[in-house]
Amino acid sequence: MSAHTLSRRKLLQQSLLLSGALASGRALANNWPALSQPDLPATALANNEAYWESVSTFYKKATGTVNLEHGYWGKMSLPVEQSYIDLTKMVNQQLSYYARKDWYADAKAAVKAVANSLAVSADEIALTRNATEAMHNLLFQYKGIKPGDSLLWADIDYPAFQRTMSALAEQRGATGIEIALPAQASKQQLIDLYKAKIRTTPNLKLMLLTHASNQHGLILPVAEIAAYAKQHGVDVICDCAQSWGLIDFTLPALNVDWAVFNLHKWIGSPVGVGALYMRKGTLDKVAPYPGESDPDNTLVHKRVHMATSNFAAFLTVPDAIRFHEQVGPAAKMARLKYLRERWVTPARTMAHIEVLGATDDASASGMGAFRLAGQTRREQVNQLQQRLESEFGVFTVGRHDLASGSCIRVTPQIFTTLQEIDKLVDALGKLA
């Protein structure tokens, strides 16, 4: 992959590093050959093997066991990895001299890249170390909860966030309520279920919506549910930790006031980068981080205290987003959904397999889940995960927080091959 590193950039970098001259992240901006994308709509690119083969040359894949567990965190492409290495070296050489002088402007460039990609304004975004940090800040600094209020979440939400919501309700004398969604659902079913719950929950104040569930990849119709919640005076926090980059969307289309993101999953940044979105005009409901001050309620970054963080990881963000956008967010979503369909379609014909999650295209993502019919217990699913790995060479993960029971989550990446998916299908057939 030496072609991915332009010699001009290398020369600049080396001369800056050798001379000890101050180098900002911007000065080290990486360049790599453009991906040659056929001039086709995203849906037509989904099964264009030549394109995805060319994309996969930008990644160094492990050999051996087939990894279908890409929901934990994402792989950096080689150009992004190279940026991260260069930026790490730069920060480690320049130390505080860099951080005191150039870091602030470089961090602003990272915020701007995030905001541009999500189609919002830079003063609505703050960087965080992960989605959890952004979620904690929103939840614990939210001023609206009184004793007797209700807080709502669902079984498909990120388990740690469900527990945090529950703890928050207890702390504030509020009632925590969980909505149990069906194991399989369509967009309209989800809208109907949430609307009924919003209508019938007394004193509902705050709810969590997970755009893409980490259990089975189900996509929630966030815009429709959030609009209904707003009509009923309910505040919504949207967890986009798993959705950004897995599916193609911009924030205005989600119609939420507050959302949390990860860049270290599907955007392919180094580990340690998340983001917080707060729509302009909504900051008064969420206090600044304890000890910070924002009298006019206009400064999103005052909701977070970043402390000393991985500078290089944040500096790599513009390159990570640039690479993600070159691959094409819509094409990426279409390819990942195509890869899910490739195992889900045959799996649905197997009486011994239960496929979970989306029953329609609108609720589907590239992430999916299944279990052996009727085997919903944690131990049964953990055993199945072991079998898939040791007997069939396919690595997945058990997820255990759906109301309907445990399941195996299957998550391909854009460099996953058709043969790798077929290996899973073959294994599924033999599990009978």
Ligand X SMILES: Cc1ncc(COP(=O)(O)O)c(C=O)c1O
CB 211 to ligand X: min, Å: 8
Q: State which residue, 124 or 239, has the beta carbon closest to ligand X.
A: 239
Residue 363 touches ligand X, criterion: CB under 6 A = no
Of 81, 155, 239, 257, the residue at the interface with ligand X (CB under 6 A) is 239
CB 166 to ligand X: min, Å: 16
Of 130, 201, 269, 316, the residue at the interface with ligand X (CB under 6 A) is 130
Q: What is the 3-state secondary structure (H, E, C) of the chain?
A: CHHHCCHHHHHHHHHHHHHCCCCCCCCCCCCCCCCCCCCCCHHHHCCCHHHHHHHHCCCCCCCCCEECECCCCCCCCHHHHHHHHHHHHHHHHHHHHHHHHCHHHHHHHHHHHHHHHHCCCHHHEEEECCHHHHHHHHHHHECCCCCCCEEEEECCCCHHHHHHHHHHHHHCCCEEEEECCCCEECHHHHHHHHHHHHHHCCCEEEEEEECECCCCCCECCHHHHHHHHHHCCCEEEEEECCCECCECCCHHHHCCCEEEEECCCCCCCCCCCEEEEECCCCHHHECCCCCCCCCCCCCHHHHCCCCCCCHHHHHCHHHHHHHHHHHCHHHHHHHHHHHHHHHHHHHHCCCCEEEEEECCHHHCCCCEEEEECCCCCHHHHHHHHHHHHHHHCEECEEECCCCCCCEEEEECCCCCCHHHHHHHHHHHHHCC
Of 13, 242, 411, 413, the residue at the interface with ligand X (CB under 6 A) is 242
Binding range to ligand X, per CB under 6 A, among 184-192, 193-201, 239-247, 339-347: 239-247
Closest CA to 408 of 385, 377, 431: 385
Residue 397 touches ligand X, criterion: CB under 6 A = no
Q: State which residue, 174 or 240, has the beta carbon closest to ligand X.
A: 240
Q: State which residue, 297 or 396, has the beta carbon closest to ligand X.
A: 396
Phi, psi of 277 (to 5 degrees): -110, 130
Q: State which residue, 94 or 130, has the beta carbon closest to ligand X.
A: 130
Residue 131 touches ligand X, criterion: CB under 6 A = yes
CB 130 to ligand X: min, Å: 3
The answer to whether 388 touches 427, Cβ cutoff 8 Å, is yes
Q: State which residue, 90 or 131, has the beta carbon closest to ligand X.
A: 131
- Over the window 196 to 235, marking each residue x when it contacts ligand X by CB under 6 A and - when it does not, the resulting string is --------------x---x---------------------
CB 419 to ligand X: min, Å: 27
Residue entry with tokens 């150039």 = 102
Residue 413 touches ligand X, criterion: CB under 6 A = no
Q: State which residue, 154 or 334, has the beta carbon closest to ligand X.
A: 154
Of 158, 277, 323, 338, the residue at the interface with ligand X (CB under 6 A) is 158
Residue 81 touches ligand X, criterion: CB under 6 A = no
Whole-angstrom distance, CA of residue 239 vs CA of residue 256:
10
CB 165 to ligand X: min, Å: 12
Q: State which residue, 241 or 276, has the beta carbon closest to ligand X.
A: 241
Half-sphere exposure of 208 toward its Cβ, with a 13 Å CA cutoff? Answer: 34
The answer to whether 147 touches 136, Cβ cutoff 8 Å, is no
Of 5, 13, 30, 132, the residue at the interface with ligand X (CB under 6 A) is 132
Phi, psi of 181 (to 5 degrees): -90, 155
Q: State which residue, 242 or 297, has the beta carbon closest to ligand X.
A: 242
Residue 262 touches ligand X, criterion: CB under 6 A = yes
Binding range to ligand X, per CB under 6 A, among 46-54, 129-137, 180-188, 357-365: 129-137
Q: State which residue, 209 or 372, has the beta carbon closest to ligand X.
A: 209
Of 46, 76, 206, 241, the residue at the interface with ligand X (CB under 6 A) is 241
Residue 336 touches ligand X, criterion: CB under 6 A = no
Q: State which residue, 240 or 427, has the beta carbon closest to ligand X.
A: 240
CB 340 to ligand X: min, Å: 16
Residue entry with tokens 């609307």 = 195
CB 194 to ligand X: min, Å: 17
Residue 67 touches ligand X, criterion: CB under 6 A = no
Q: Which residues bind ligand X (CB under 6 A)?
A: 130-132, 158, 210, 214, 239, 241-242, 262
